[in-house]
Structure formats: C-alpha cells, structure tokens
Structure 1
Amino acid sequence: MRVGKAVAVSATVLVLGLGAAACNDDTASTSAATTAATAAATGAASKSAPAPTSSGKASTRCHTADLKTDVQLQPDFPGSAMVMLTNKGSRTCTVNGYLGYGGLGADNSPIVTGSSRVAHPGAPVEVSLKPGTSAFSGVKWASCDKADPKCKVLAGITVTPPDETTQLTANVIGVDGKPVDQLTVSAAGFTVGSLQPVNQGVVFAS
C-alpha cells in the first residue's frame, strides 16, 4: 500500500508539472503574439501618419522665377515709370512690400544704383497674384549728363521682388511703345513706391 501511494503521489506531481509547463508555454506564446501585433500596429501607424512639417501653412510668397516685370516710361512725367510685376507661373502667389532696383551696363555687367523707398501712394498692400495677373508700383529718377562721373548710364534695369535675393531683368518700354536700351540715372538713384493691387495713383507725378 505504501508503494502504491508513492506512485500515486509521483503521478500527481508529474501531471501538475506538465500543467504548469503548458501554462508557461501559453503565456510565452501569448506575450510573443501581443508583442508582434503591437509592433505591426506601430509600424502601420508610422507609415500612414504624415511627416511633421516646420510650419502648418505652406508659403504662398511669389519667388523670382514665378515673375516677370515691365517698366513703362510715362510721357507726361519724364523720369517716371509705372512698374508691372506679373505672375507668369501656374500657381497663385503673393507679393508684399517694395521692389529693389539695380542697373545693367552695355556688357550686361551689374551697376549699383542708389534707391529710397516711399510709401506712395500708400503703405504696401499684400497682393494675391493669380497666374497672368499683376501688381503695380511707381519708380522715378533724375536724369544726368553722361559726362558726369557720378552719372549712371544704364543699358537695362534689374528688379528684385520682395524678400527675394535674385533679380529679374525688366522690359523697359519707352513712351513710343518700343524697348529702351539706355537710361541716365543720377547718383541719387531710384525713388521706389510700394506695391499695390491696382495701377491707380502709383505713378509719381513729380
């Protein structure tokens, strides 16, 4: 009888041990499956989530490559012109502020000119330019004698859009509608008006 009890006890211990091992195996399998599922979900989420950006709003500012410019000399006001800054691109963009000016020599070399800004006909207005539309501003200068060493003799005009560092070569149009290939500009340089959505009042009358 004692031997039989010992065998029975050993068998019971063996069964319990096997049960514990089975439980441990199930726990390990469940843990591994949970870890794999979590990793898969995290990976899927990271693929589907958009990459963070430094700004919540894309810039709509016009860049030099989006634009072209025409400088139209005014018959009633010598030394004064209306400037048209036109969106030649395919997206709507904005301009706001003042244009920068420089000169070109006969050999296309840059000529530094002075300039001053005037809130004429008022403060700058942000202008939204759809493709093919224009913003306007005025510019004026004093002519000079080409023999004066301070006189700038320009074969062309360069224009820098607001907040840009590269220039456009302007189409300078004379009062007869033909291209102008020479301007004399005094040492004082250009007086520059603000960009506006319409051309009314932008020309300097004096």
Structure 2
Amino acid sequence: MKQHPTTAARAAAAAAAVLALALGAVGCNGDGTDPAAGTAPAQATAAGTAGTAPESPAGSVQATAKAATTGGTGTGPAPAAATTRCHTADLKADVQVQEGGGRALVMLTNTSGRTCTVKGYLGYGGLAADNSRVDVATSRVAKPGPPVTVTLKSGTTAFSGLSWSTCDKADPTCAVLAGVVVTPPDETTQLTAVLLGTDGKPAIQLPVSAAGFVVGTLQPSNQGVLLG
C-alpha cells in the first residue's frame, strides 16, 4: 500500500530525533568534562617519553671534546716536563787558588752524559785534616753580574769567583782547611772540590779567617769572575 505523505513526514522527523540523541551521547563523556581535555594525559605521556630519550650524537661529541681538553682521563693535570737542572751527581768542582792568596777561580764542570743548567751561587763548607766538616761563614756578591742561567753540555764548565781573608794558623778563629765541599745551586747534597794551589798541584792547607768566604755568581765564561 502507498504510504500517506503525512505519515512519511512524521517518520522522517522521528528518525532525525533519534540521530540527534545519538550524536549527543557521543559528544558527552558522562562526567561533565570536555572531550578534548581527555586527550591531555596522552600528550603529557608523550612529552615525558621524549624527555627520557638517549643523549644525542652531538652531546657525545661535546663530551669527547671536553675529555680531550682535560687530558682524556679526568684524573688531573698532565705531568710536568722533566727539569734540566744539573744535580750534584752530574758535576765536578775545582777550586784553583790564585797568586797572592785569598782568592780562587772555581770551575764547575758537567761530567754527566746530558745537557743541564745551573744558575745562581755555589754553597761552601770546609773539611778538616781528618775529613770532618768545618762550618765556614759565606756571603754573596752579584759579581761579575747578576745570576744567569748557564747551559752546560757534557764536559763544559761554568765559572765563579771565591775570595777570603787569610789568617795566622795559630789564631784560634782561623779555620785551616784541608779541603772544600761545594753545594750546587738548588741542591741539598755536596761534592768535594779538588783544591789546587797556584802551581796547579793539590793544595794541602787553606787558612780562612772568621769572616769566611765571599762568593760570586756562576757565569758561562771565566772573564771577570775573580773577586778581590
């Protein structure tokens, strides 16, 4: 049977109402919140995951560069370069007494197989006939000039002047030395110098007054180093 137009219109209206109710149910979560807000936790979770991502390759390169700058191990600064200073065991000393007495040319020779340096003043002490130590007062003068660094190749020599006042051996304040010990600059150990007379032969005695020794600076040449 053919449906009446009025009845068809009513059926269409009823179907539209049912569709509207269905759409309303989809648009409401049942708790009064906006459906768009319900997606926020998922977005936050995604952001949190991104925050825990591994370090980028660029970060690794930066860390490597930092390690290279600090020596690569991070255990501290690189070791200091080895010193070239001459040590007592590297050296030999000769004290050559000059004519008239009271002064000497001191020669400090590098006997090691390496090049080393000396700078400043020698320290001095005396030896008695029984080889015991004798304290001798010492003063310094910047002659023939201020201290300079002297580079000594193996077998080469630095020079300095030494002077003292002679004295009567019978004077109780007179130190009668049978030998001289020398302390190289910045060293704490001594070496026994070869004490030579004016004739170039070993000297037996060296009378030194209570004023002691006057010491000049070490120089690369013997020119002008004699004192007194």
State whether structure 2 residue 112 is matched by structure 1 residue 125: no
From 189, 192, 197, the counterpart of 2:215: 192
Q: Give the structure 2 partner of residue 94 of structure 1.
A: 118
Q: Secondary structure in 1 aligned to 2:89?
A: helix
1:160–1:167 Cα contact (<8 Å) kept: yes
| Residue identity (%) | 58
The one-letter amino acid of 1:196's match is Q
Deviation of the 1:154 alpha carbon: 0.7
Provide Cα deviations, 1:179-206, integer angstroms capped at 9, x if missing partner: 01211100000011111111000012x3
The one-letter amino acid of 2:146's match is P
Q: Give the structure 2 partner of residue 138 of structure 1.
A: 161
Normalised TM-score (structure 1) = 0.70
2:152–2:158 Cα contact (<8 Å) kept: no
User: Following the alignment from structure 2 to structure 1, what is the Cα–Cα distance between the partners of residues 189 and 103?
Assistant: 24
Instruction: Map 1:48-59 onto structure 2 (within 5 A).
Output: 52-53=77-78, 55=80, 57-59=81-83
Normalised TM-score (structure 2) = 0.64
Deviates further, 122-131 or 158-167: 122-131
Q: Give the structure 2 partner of residue 81 of structure 1.
A: 104
Q: Give the structure 2 partner of residue 18 of structure 1.
A: none
Structure 1 residues 188 and 79, CA, compared in 2 at 3 Å: closer, same or farther?
same
User: Following the alignment from structure 1 to structure 2, what is the Cα–Cα distance between the partners of residues 88 and 53?
Assistant: 31
How many residue pairs get aligned? The number is 197
The one-letter amino acid of 1:179's match is P
Instruction: Map 1:33-72 onto structure 2 (within 5 A).
Output: 52-53=77-78, 55=80, 57-72=81-96
Structure 1 residues 94 and 144, CA, compared in 2 at 3 Å: closer, same or farther?
closer
Provide Cα deviations, 1:77-115, integer angstroms capped at 9, x if missing partner: 42110001111112333333x111110011111000011
1:127–1:135 Cα contact (<8 Å) kept: no
Deviation of the 1:54 alpha carbon: 5.1
User: Following the alignment from structure 2 to structure 1, what is the Cα–Cα distance between the partners of residues 171 and 208?
Assistant: 11
The one-letter amino acid of 1:144's match is C
**Higher gyration radius (CA):** 2
2:93–2:182 Cα contact (<8 Å) kept: yes
State whether structure 2 residue 161 is matched by structure 1 residue 154: no
The one-letter amino acid of 1:124's match is P
Deviation of the 1:71 alpha carbon: 0.6
Provide Cα deviations, 1:162-191, integer angstroms capped at 9, x if missing partner: 111111100111111100121110000001
CA RMSD after TM alignment: 3.9
Deviation of the 1:64 alpha carbon: 0.8
User: Following the alignment from structure 1 to structure 2, what is the Cα–Cα distance between the partners of residues 115 and 189?
Assistant: 6
1:146–1:152 Cα contact (<8 Å) kept: yes
User: Following the alignment from structure 1 to structure 2, what is the Cα–Cα distance between the partners of residues 198 and 124?
Assistant: 14
